[in-house]
């Protein structure tokens, strides 16, 4: 029998009590990994705690013959994130990979967004991913191996309405991933991002008041969370040893490699620029290459395949 892709690897999946995280944890275990299922059991907006969801996933993994332990520590504080990583080491003797999937939403149009709504989302998505990655980094460095997968979003890569906090966190996360990849490549540590399209409770509040909205939700519901898991498993496996610092998107049965910012067009003037020359010559020359004010749905405008 062929060895499973993640045989004997130890991985942490945050936000694994439901949705995308649950399916990733189940897929990791099915591929031979020993899994720390981390979830504080909060609501989609970050209220409350419940150890039940993480334990339920652990029970599913064990029932299928896999190995897993539950963790209910929060990723949003450095000390508790360190405990999540230590849970892997204490339970299974090492740590080989982390999937930074935990997240909350506090959607609000920017001019109405409160400081608390901004902080709460940044703390879980960006700080949480930093705390988890940093806690794992020393282990990865010492063993000269390890891999990270961070869940970003096209809300940050492209744009969306009412999600300044979430978009800023997710785009910041792609930069964090790139920096980790650059800094730790010499230790054989890899860091990549996935922008998932999937129906889960995180987007279950999309309104369905009109036929158009109902049709949109019906299309999104086709994109089940288990479509994301295979790429996450692959990226944490040794099969992906030459894949680093990349950003992917998964949309039902489609895989995308996303672009990263690079110069589009340039102008120069040997005498230097004044504000007036920029207005008269510089900006008109650049305008043809301006990036449009697209939202995610404008770029991914076709039905899921």
**Count of beta carbons in the 10 Å neighbourhood of residue 42:** 18
The answer to whether the CB of 38 falls within 8 A of the CB of 84 is: yes
Q: Could you tell me if 148 and 190 are in contact, meaning their C-beta atoms sit under 8 angstroms apart? A: yes
Tell me phi and psi for residue 75, to 5 degrees. Answer: -80, -15
Handedness of CA 205, 211, 215, 216 (dihedral sign): negative
Distance, in Å, from the CA atom of 187 to the CA atom of 154, rounded to the nearest integer, reads 30
Instruction: Let me know if 127 is a catalytic residue.
Output: no
Of the candidates 8, 47, 6, the one whose C-alpha atom is nearest the C-alpha of residue 28 is: 6
Q: Which residues are catalytic?
A: 166
């Amino acid at each position: 029998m062929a060895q499973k892709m993640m045989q004997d690897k130890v991985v942490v999946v945050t936000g694994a009590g439901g949705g995308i995280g649950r399916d990733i944890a189940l897929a990791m275990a099915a591929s031979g990994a020993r899994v720390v299922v981390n979830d504080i059991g909060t609501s989609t907006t970050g209220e409350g705690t419940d150890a039940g969801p993480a334990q339920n996933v652990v029970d599913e993994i064990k029932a299928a013959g896999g190995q897993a332990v539950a963790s209910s520590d929060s990723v949003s504080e450095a000390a508790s994130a360190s405990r999540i990583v230590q849970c892997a080491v204490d339970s299974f003797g090492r740590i080989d990979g982390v999937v930074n999937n935990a997240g909350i939403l506090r959607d609000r149009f920017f001019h109405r967004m409160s400081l608390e709504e901004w902080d709460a989302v940044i703390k879980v998505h960006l700080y949480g991913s930093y705390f988890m990655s940093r806690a794992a980094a020393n282990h990865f460095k010492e063993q000269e191996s390890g891999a990270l997968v961070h869940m970003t979003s096209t809300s940050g890569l492209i744009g969306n309405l009412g999600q300044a906090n979430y978009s800023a966190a997710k785009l910041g996360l792609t930069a964090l991933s790139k920096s980790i990849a650059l800094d730790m490549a010499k230790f054989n540590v890899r860091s990549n991002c996935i922008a998932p399209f999937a129906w889960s409770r995180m987007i279950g509040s999309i309104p369905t008041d009109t036929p158009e909205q109902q049709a949109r939700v019906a299309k999104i519901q086709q994109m089940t969370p288990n479509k994301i898991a295979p790429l996450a498993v692959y990226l944490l496996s040794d099969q992906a040893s030459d894949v680093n610092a990349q950003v992917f998107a998964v949309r039902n049965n489609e895989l995308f490699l996303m672009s990263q910012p690079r110069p589009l067009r340039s102008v120069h003037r040997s005498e230097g620029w004044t504000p007036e020359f920029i207005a008269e010559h510089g900006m008109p020359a650049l305008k043809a290459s301006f990036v449009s004010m697209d939202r995610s749905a404008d770029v991914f405008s076709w039905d899921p395949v």
